[in-house]
Structure 1
Amino acid sequence: MSSPIHHWIKRLAELRKPAYLAIPDLIEEDLATGRLRPRDRLPGLRDLAGELALNYTTVARAYAEAKKRGLLDSRAGSGTFVRGRTATLPLSGGSSIEMTMNTPPEPADYAARLRESAARLMASSDPYQLLRYQDFGGTPADKAAGTEWLKRRLPDCCADHVLVCPGIHSALVALVSQLARPGGMICLDTLAYPGIKAIAAQLGVRLQALARDDEGPLAHAFEALCKTDKPSAFYCNPTLQNPSTLTLTHKRREALADVALRYSVPIIEDDAYAMLPLQAPEALASFAPELTYYVTGLSKSLGAGLRVAYLQAPTPRQTQRLAGALRATTVMASPFTVSLATEWVNDGTAVEMLNAIRGESKARQAIAVRILDTWAYDAHAEGFHLWLPIPGEDGWSSSELALQLRNQGIAAVASAAFSTDGNPPNALRVCLGGSKSREECEAALHIIAEALEHPHHLHSAIM
């Protein structure tokens, strides 16, 4: 009997949860402590059931749950292997090249403009006013600025439908808590922003993946679900989706909105990347305004530290109800941060910065085209991440490649982090914005290309 399995017998007796849920927890625990390592082989179902004195069905459910979490791989004729999770890296300040957090690139010549604008704001502001509690959802001036920003995507936006929030994530927490009760279900794509997965888990809300094709979630799959188990909401990230970079077509948006309208299912439209493309289809909120909660922000358009989001609700009444949910979870957005955002929207700095980020993103995407020219991947010229399928038949998984890249100082995210159906594709999301310069970005992409070109390096590093 292997030492991890011997350890599990003791731990299963201590854990107060069903064994099929406890075993995946133990796999995660042993990965963290080093008892298990990626590519370790686990016993077969019947063997493990015998060693742990559990029935076969329980162990089968445990392995299925572990696969859903991205912890295990099963290979026909070979067995079940530990997949592992990509270790967390410092976000900045370390020796690694940061390509995990999907942050905008920092245009080299724009710092002075930001500094001058911020200084003018601080010089003219009442510091005590900024230290006081604010009207939740933003002052009239803040809402007016948010409305103008939203009108870039929602021409009919009006201020009494708008809330100013401390980042998109906090808005999503409030929306999920408002629209779905514990045990309720939200449907979404098979790939999704990891934050929505974490929020749903924290609030006890189920996520149901919809079947998809190359254009995104299928409207007929959405409708079939509505007929059998009405979802509390439909969540989507329709423009430059995180992680796949997919932008839903006008036709697909219209079809999904039509299903939502016919079955009265609220839509959570997380349009974090909406401002990056110069051209994009109309927002889902344009097709179903009476059902759609539209949210975008400045963290993907200007910088991740600018935690300001603008949310449009379907009606003024729903806006106020949502304000209560936001107040309960976040109290209010930082007045300093919101004042800066309002100033930058009003004086044109936000648009100029957005244009500069587009230009820098194009330059980095051109570097990627040159270096990854022999590999098929998905990207958008005005976006700053790419979705890289891992080719080959030699058994390498995205988590193994992410681990190998980490060992070489490159941080990227394996597909399991984004999977909502327990069957992640073999791919990596690579953020081009986290590198501090084009030269650093180019160096990182060369390392990724080298790892793809010579997978035996990965084999020798992990075994």
Structure 2
Amino acid sequence: MKSQGYVRMQSWHPDLEKAEGPKYLAITAELERDVEAGRLVPGDRLPPQRALAERLGVDLTTITRAYDEARRRGLIEADGRRGSFVRARAVALVEDEDAVPADTGMNMPPVPRAALAEAWTQGTAMLFQGRAAARLHYQPAGGAMEDREAAARLLETRGVEAGPDMVLVTAGGQHALHAAIRAQLRPGDVMCVGRYAYSGFLALARSYGLRLRVVEGDGEGVDPDALDAACRAERVRGLYVVPTNDNPTTATLGEDRRRAIAQVARRHDLAIVEDDAYGQLPAEPLPPLAALAPERTWHIASVSKILSPSLRIAHLRAPSVKDAMRAAIDLHATAVMAAPLNAALVTGWLENGTYARLIDEVRAEAAWRRRLAADILDGADWRAHPQGYHLWLRLEEGVMIHEILNTLRPAGLSVVPGGAFAVEPLAERRLRISIGGGLGRERLERNLRLLEAMLHPRGGQAAPLV
């Protein structure tokens, strides 16, 4: 059977005569149609790239791009020198363009379904090898030692001093945020924050009785001079910051500004809560604040925003072992432990390179979606991180927010009014648009075109969309 598949693939010849658009996409589309029709089956070997380029009369780079796109879609897989093969697709996680994902209001990454399905299948099989029995019981407060060691090694690659006794495994970023605040601050303490902040932090800070002090900033984020002035005006105990691709503003602190903030924090003895949810996604990540002011920084690295929220795993790095022990008490009191099998799965991926490969997939897809948004929303007032998957959009007067929400939310595009992130009441009219999540490319494009059409004031008259 393998030899028959090999012969069939060697004679495979996609028809490009009626193809529209880039040739590499046309080749990928032909491959996908043949796979769906059963003309090509799992295990069939693809023609060598150079041979197919000569056969079709196209550049080798065209074939390379086509194969890369086919791998991204989960159609094929590479096997070193043996070449590329049609892969078995994970039906349960293959994207259904007709399905409209529920809008939860959460900012979710564009999950690489096929790659994640393969990693999940291989990873769960791996879990029940070796010390599998230990994963089926309650874990120590803060996570199993092997998971903490793997997290510490990851943080050290980013320049963060992090022995395993300083690192805790939590049930997601919000769980880690809760533990850090409870361990470091007391009700009534003043904490500095930007004019807009992640709504999960705002809810937690208000429920715990923190007093939030707004610090002005710009397109790069919090201004160190404004932070210094706020600390001189009153006793401030801490700073909350999302240093890379801030949620919702998309601002990223440059390295010089990070160093300046670290200096201000030392000068005024501030605790830094660094919610670095997106920090591993850029191709060239910046040093975390925990690498610049390790003695006072609570660093949170969540898997939810860079791989999938379904894993509910985050790593919390405390400023000291003593701080980690205090935080572990809260972790146990609020959730007992992170899901042991999920934690073990992430650790396995860290050790075998799958973790990095999945992030590469998310990064590439996020960059593609960001470019799509740039093409469609050209002329609108918005910004986004180059490898991010949410937009921060300013609306003109006369644009009807309720119309945008009522039209796009049922279609699966996550749209949240800026007021949900405002620390203080503001008159600005803004939206956070998430272009990740469960939306496929075609549906995302349609929704962005609908959004663009609604960004033009019409004198209060609603569009008769049907």
* 1:145-195 per-position Cα deviation (integer Å, ceiling 9, x unaligned): 111222342343322221111111011111112222122221111111100
Number of aligned residues: 369
SS at 2:455 equivalent: helix
**Change over 3 Å in CA distance of 1:111–1:173 after alignment to 2:** closer
For residue 172 of structure 1, give the secondary structure of its aligned residue in structure 2: helix
* Structure 1 residues 177 and 365, CA gap change in structure 2 (3 angstroms): same
- Note the alpha carbon deviations across 1:247-301, whole angstroms, 9 max, x for none: 0112221222111101101000110000110123321122211111111121111
Deviation at 1:303, TM superposition (A): 0.4
Cα deviation for residue 96 of structure 1 reads 5.8
1:388 match: secondary structure: strand
* Whole-angstrom distance in 2 between the partners of 1:309 and 1:98: 23
Q: 1:217 maps to what in 2?
A: 222
Q: Distance in 2 between matches of 1:241 and 1:432?
A: 15
State yes or no: 1:276 paired with 2:292. Answer: no
Once the two structures are superposed, what CA deviation does each residue of 1:25-60 show, in whole Å capped at 9, x if it has no partner?
A: xxxxxxxxxxxxxxxxxxxxxxxxxxxxxxxxxxxx
Residue number in structure 1 paired with 2:110: 105
CA gap 1:371/1:207 in 2 versus in 1, 3 angstroms = same
Aligned 8 A contact 2:192 2:239 in 1: yes
Letter in 2 for 1:445: L
| Residue pairs, 1:178-189, within 5 angstroms | 178-189=183-194
Residue in structure 1 matched with residue 88 of structure 2 by the alignment: none
Q: Deviations over 1:297-330 (max 9, x none)?
A: 2111110111111111111111112212222222
Q: Which residue of 1 aligns with 2:448?
A: 445
Higher mean Cα deviation, 266-275 or 299-308? 299-308
Report the secondary structure of 2:114's partner residue: coil
Partner of 2:52: none
What are the within-5 Å matches in structure 2 for residues 162-311 of structure 1? 162-311=167-316
Q: Which residues of structure 1 form unaligned runs of 5+? A: 1-91
Structure 1 residue identity aligned to 2:420:
A
2:190·2:211 contact (CA, 8 Å) conserved in 1? Answer: yes
Q: Residues of 2 paired with 1:287 and 1:189: CA distance? A: 20
* TM-superposed deviation, 1:436: 3.1
- Structure 1 residues 111, 273: closer, same or farther in 2, change over 3 A? closer
Q: Corresponding residue for 1:69?
A: none
For 1:430, the aligned partner's letter is I
Rounded Cα–Cα distance in structure 1 between residues aligned with 2:338 and 2:208? 22
- Asked if the contact 1:154/1:286 (under 8 Å) is kept, the reply is yes
Counterpart of 1:119 in 2: which secondary structure?
A: helix
Q: Which protein, 1 or 2, shows the higher relative CO under an 8 Å CA cutoff with sep ≥ 6?
A: 1
Q: Map 1:133-152 onto structure 2 (within 5 A).
A: 133-152=138-157
Alpha-carbon offset, residue 237 of structure 1: 0.4
Query: Is residue 99–residue 434 contact of structure 1 (8 Å, CA) maintained in 2?
Result: no
Give, in whole Å, the separation in 2 of the partners of 1:113 and 1:96.
22
Counterpart in 1 of 2:437? Answer: 434
SS at match of 1:386: strand
Measure, in 1, the Cα distance between the counterparts of 2:176 and 2:98: 29
Contact 1:99–1:412 under 8 Å retained in 2: no
User: What SS is found at the alignment partner of 2:266?
Assistant: helix
Structure 1 residue 408 displacement after superposition: 6.1
Deviates more, 1:370-379 or 1:353-362: 370-379
Distance 1:400 1:206, change over 3 A: farther
Contact 2:127–2:344 under 8 Å retained in 1:
no
* TM-score (normalised: structure 2): 0.74
CA offset digits 1:363-395 (Å, max 9, x no partner) = 11121111112213111221111111113x33x
List per-residue Cα deviations over 1:225-252 (Å, max 9, x = no partner): 2123212211000101111111011222
Amino acid at match of 2:455: L
Q: Kindly, what percent of the aligned residue pairs are identical?
A: 34
Change (3 A) 1:397 1:199: farther
- After TM superposition, give the deviation of residue 108 of structure 1 in Å: 4.8
- Separation in 2, partners of 1:97, 1:170: 23
Relative distance call for 1:434 and 1:112 in structure 2 (3 A) is closer
Query: RMSD value over aligned CA atoms?
Result: 2.5
Contact 2:272/2:297 (<8 A) preserved:
yes
> CA distance change for structure 1 residues 420 and 401 in 2, over 3 Å: closer, same or farther?
same
Question: Distance in 1 between the 2:182 and 2:118 partners?
Answer: 39
Deviates more, 1:308-317 or 1:110-119: 110-119
Cross-structure match for 2:47: none
1:421 and 2:424 correspond: yes
Change (3 A) 1:278 1:195: same
8 Å contact from structure 2 (residues 414, 434) kept in 1: no
Q: 1:362 to 1:407 in 2, by over 3 A?
A: closer
Instruction: Please give the secondary structure, in 2, of the residue aligned with 1:453.
Output: coil
Tell me how far apart the structure 2 counterparts of residues 407 and 359 of structure 1 sit (CA, whole Å).
27
Mapped partners of 1:276, 1:366: distance in 2: 16
Deviation at 1:400, TM superposition (A): 5.8
Q: CA deviation at 1:457?
A: 7.4
Partner amino acid for 1:192?
A: A
Moved more, 431-440 or 150-159: 150-159
Local SS of the residue matching 1:344: helix
